[in-house]
Amino acid sequence: MKRYRINLYKSFKKVNFYTIHEEGKKFSETDEFFLRFKGDQNHVDDIKIIKYWIEKIGNEQGAQERYFRPEKNARAIPIIKSKLRLYCFRVNEQIVILGNGGKKSSQKVKDSPDALPHFTLVNDLAYIFNMKKQKGEIVVKNNEIKGDFSFYIKEPKQL
């Protein structure tokens, strides 16, 4: 069983980006993604585009649904013509929870071992977050999340 916590990652004028952090780990899931790929020569530009896209959404555009790539209950930050995916959960136009990501090497994510665990984790988060919200354990108000920020994942689910 793994225990995670939702933490604020970056705050901008229009959007607060949160991240998920596994207990006992030095870096958040999103930092792990950036640290893993920022030195990868095949994805140097992709990482920079993702960073600037986040800033642009955060400061100017707002997290409008149409800017995100649907990935079951989760979303991905779109990098056209690249196999790199950073998975996230869009709560509303002012809140996005960023996860981790990887290289999608096949048409279906279930056949992409590098991306699948991150896709699964953010989809699990989306499910748990919505359950907690329904139960009133989490309250979303404008660009803030209040309440119980911790959650457990028992084992990877088969999606």
Partner 1 sequence: MSKVFDSIGVSDDLKRFVDHSFDVVDQIHDILDQQSRTQRDLAKMLGKKESEISKWMQGTHNFTIKSIAKIESVLGQSIITTRQKAVKSFTHTKLVPVNVYAKQNMPIIQGKLRTESNWKKNDGDNLFNKGLKSA
- The residues binding partner 1 (CB under 8 A) are 8-11, 19, 27-28, 30-31, 34-35, 38, 45, 47-49, 51-54, 56-57, 60-61, 66-69, 78-81
Give 17 or 119: the residue with its C-beta nearer to partner 1.
17
**Smallest gap, in angstroms, from Cβ of residue 2 to partner 1?**
21
**Smallest gap, in angstroms, from Cβ of residue 32 to partner 1?**
9
**Smallest gap, in angstroms, from Cβ of residue 137 to partner 1?**
25
Q: Assess contact for 9 and 24: CB atoms under 8 A.
A: no
Give 99 or 132: the residue with its C-beta nearer to partner 1.
99
Give 66 or 141: the residue with its C-beta nearer to partner 1.
66
**Smallest gap, in angstroms, from Cβ of residue 155 to partner 1?**
28
Sign of CA dihedral 104, 101, 71, 44: negative
Give 29 or 124: the residue with its C-beta nearer to partner 1.
29
Give 112 or 132: the residue with its C-beta nearer to partner 1.
112
Question: How far separated are the first and last CA of the chain, in Å rounded?
Answer: 18
**Smallest gap, in angstroms, from Cβ of residue 24 to partner 1?**
18
